Amino acid sequence: MATAAPKYDLYSDAFRADTYATFARMREHDPVFCQPGIDGETPIWWVTRYEDAEAVLLDDERFVRDPRLALTPDELAGFGAGLPDSMAFINSNMLERDGDDHRRLRRLVSKAFTPRMIERLRPRMQEIADGLLDPVASTGEMELVSSFAFPLPITVIAELLGVPPADRDRFREWSNAMVSPALSTAELERFGVLMSDFVAYLHVLSMSGGVSRGKTSSARWSRSRTAETRSPRRSCRAWSRS
């Protein structure tokens, strides 16, 4: 079926250089519109204003996150065609669930991220941030993304999960693959290999007790730098039910 050309180029380097201005134009002129996705064929509805997006995400009667609740078996088969088997595991997460299932998983996660628990992590987060910024004192400059914006959250998450420091660059490669377009045969093959490696790593980490070690790490975080702290001193998709 023929589709109209996209009104907004949302996948190019030019877009990434002018992201917020593009989003502002979308909110002003096209708060709700449809255009083809990155493959040039799949129609995607864009809801760009906060109140509208919130209404869609909170409406479990007409909109769902889990495509199994909105697509026919044939459509579902086509939706997953070409994707590695590992994606079924990756997509089985809280963000892809609806209703009671989503709320059940969210309650489990929220217990570990209450405001009080997050505040207890602050000293260790500050320690990591300070360690990343210290070299700037002597060099006078830094590449913000590679030297700070990437290693800070990766280090925090890795310590919580018990991931060895030597594996953190692998996490960066996996996360980059998840958000980068893969259209050619070679790109899809590489994507499949990386996602299979990622899922295999998560299974090994879980079986070896990595997540349990993360709990111990969290406790260590809450105790770290105690004396110092006492002294003066981060697009959601929805499917429409037919």
pLDDT tens sequence across 133-181? 999 888 888 898 888 988 898 888 888 877 888 888 888 888 888 877 7
Q: Is pLDDT above 60 for 31?
A: yes
Query: Residue 117 has what pLDDT?
Result: 85
Could you tell me which residue, 97 or 56, shows the higher pLDDT? Answer: 56
Q: Which residues contact 123 (CB under 8 A, 6 or more apart)?
A: 221, 222, 224, 225, 226, 228, 229
Q: Which CATH number describes the domain made up of 112-232?
A: 1.10.630.10
Query: Residue 241 has what pLDDT?
Result: 58
If pLDDT is split at 50, 70 and 90, which confidence band does 80 have?
A: low
How does DSSP classify residue 34?
E
pTM of the shown model: 0.61
Query: Residue 220 has what pLDDT?
Result: 43
Span 49-61, average pLDDT = 90
CA pair distance 187, 185, nearest whole angstrom: 5
Query: Residue 176 has what pLDDT?
Result: 82
CA pair distance 140, 134, nearest whole angstrom: 10
Query: Residue 187 has what pLDDT?
Result: 82
Domain boundaries of the chain, sorted by first residue: 112-232
Query: Residue 28 has what pLDDT?
Result: 96
Encode pLDDT of 175-213 as tens digits: 888 877 776 778 888 888 998 998 888 888 877 765 544
Lowest mean pLDDT, pick from 69-73, 81-85, 150-154: 81-85
Q: Is pLDDT above 90 for 225?
A: no
Q: Is pLDDT above 70 for 231?
A: no
Amino acid letter for position 120: R
Could you tell me which residue, 21 or 204, shows the higher pLDDT? Answer: 21
CA pair distance 61, 75, nearest whole angstrom: 20
If pLDDT is split at 50, 70 and 90, which confidence band does 234 have?
A: very low
